[in-house]
Structure 1
């Protein structure tokens, strides 16, 4: 039998979630009324607002109906991780949209940008409240540094995929290797997240931690090759065109380059930390 929990709506976290859901919905509507823009960055922004609004409302409904307490995974871990992911998505969106699609006389675009920043503030407040628990307790994998780094790795890979175009890598085997690196490492990260949060490690006849460490190290090495190959091959005899505007394909090459460097750093930190935890800290 389903019971309703009104306290979930009146506590600070519940109020922040309701505000975030309303603001993302308002932002989505404002941008939708302006009209479609044929750009992967516009699509990314719309997806981010829609994704955050849908899952925030889903979390609110599941907590209000007390269904969340019956789910077979750590609910607090999931909601804390989602708030962090929403912060990352909205931070990128709140920078991308006004930079590329707003102007001084675009009222609805400016309103959407302001609403997006306010929504980012709501999610950031939720992260502060849920992460700053008494004693600093964490409730699961996604609330730990390795879990947060895994989400960041997947998020940066999504930004890479958003910026990629077929014409960027189709004619070069080195660049096709880079795209393979982005894809394989994204799959590795998602598998680790799903297996760990779904508690599927209990069904493995061996310890999953060394496997996760191996994935991290291999991913870091693969990203190191992509970090070298992508800029060398992409910008060789390829200067920025004089008529390159906001939606210029050359600028997307720069975005992919920076995201590759950032993700290499994150994977390296993740590898070092996971090696320390599995082979050194656990031995004590």
Structure 2
């Protein structure tokens, strides 16, 4: 068992400072939100359900990454990280990059919630600011790790690795959106309040849900294999394995993006101005699906280039 040795240089390193910054800002974010009563939004049942879903998602994001960062921080300080059966270099940059993306989403959504409320409290405004500082801390941490020497950083700190984090983030963002859309579809009260989905459009909803879940499962599988240093145990060469997953992701999100733009065109045809209850969910889904499709496309291009270079060396 390694001895616990804490040196002065470890306490003044850039990673120690930014991780401490992320811990403090994240703790401040969820502490402020937990100390105040969630305001009851006005409007339709869909509006209230959307509010509670996004409120819970923000709290989960801050608490989850606070715990992950605290464990990474603690294991690194006491020098026990070598006992963890994962790739430490890939784990730290993965948590930092995903934390930056998730906290960015939480900051935007929570700021939207605060701005949408009639009389936001000072605690809510402070929590929104603290969430923004948390995003900056994780972004700086990911930048510090990615600018290290090639020998000190892992695969997830490269461009293809960061693209896989972006793909995983896109899949995670679709979970609450699809859940809300499912609620709209299957609740008569919400369906009547929104007027967005008819029985003829049910297949689009289920196809989208299947696409997002399958793509998220593929992204999770790729990240787990990399973090667990299991690349040599794949039945196929790992570069081909990643190329196949990237191609499947491109095809799946092409279908999802087409469905999303079809929904947007239907909204425009039906006269919705994207400010009614439920319309903004379709717009958010379209933006995230397009971003994730772009990430899969660029990742697939990198995979093809890697295969081409290896075949000609």
TM-score by length of 2: 0.81
Which residue of the partner structure matches residue 20 of structure 1?
Answer: 22
- Taking a change above 3 Å as real, the CA distance of residues 283 and 114 of structure 1, as seen in their structure-2 partners, is same
Which residue of the partner structure matches residue 108 of structure 1?
Answer: 123
What are the equivalent positions in structure 2 for 1:134-213 lying under 5 Å apart? Answer: 134=149, 136-137=150-151, 139-164=153-178, 165=180, 166-167=182-183, 171=199, 172-213=202-243
1:262 aligned to 2:291?
Answer: yes
Q: How many residues align?
A: 280
- Taking a change above 3 Å as real, the CA distance of residues 193 and 282 of structure 1, as seen in their structure-2 partners, is farther
TM-score by length of 1: 0.89
1:117 aligned to 2:132?
Answer: yes
- Moved segments of 4+, more than 6 Å: none
Residues 170-219 of structure 1 deviation map (CA, whole Å, 9 limit, x = unaligned): 64113211211111011011111111221223223431321221121122
Which residue of the partner structure matches residue 220 of structure 1?
Answer: 250
Which residue of the partner structure matches residue 33 of structure 1?
Answer: 35
What are the equivalent positions in structure 2 for 1:69-80 lying under 5 Å apart? Answer: 69-80=82-93
- Taking a change above 3 Å as real, the CA distance of residues 182 and 205 of structure 1, as seen in their structure-2 partners, is closer
1:251 aligned to 2:280?
Answer: yes
What are the equivalent positions in structure 2 for 1:58-97 lying under 5 Å apart? Answer: 58-97=71-110
Q: Could you list the runs of 5+ residues in structure 1 that have no partner in the other structure? A: none
**Shift of the alpha carbon at 1:36?**
3.7
Q: Is the 8 A contact 1:30 1:109 kept in 2?
A: yes
- Taking a change above 3 Å as real, the CA distance of residues 99 and 174 of structure 1, as seen in their structure-2 partners, is closer
SS at match of 1:214: helix
116-125 or 182-191, which deviates more = 116-125
The 2-side partners of 1:243 and 1:253 are apart by: 11
**Shift of the alpha carbon at 1:235?**
5.1
The 2-side partners of 1:221 and 1:242 are apart by: 28
1:131 aligned to 2:146?
Answer: yes
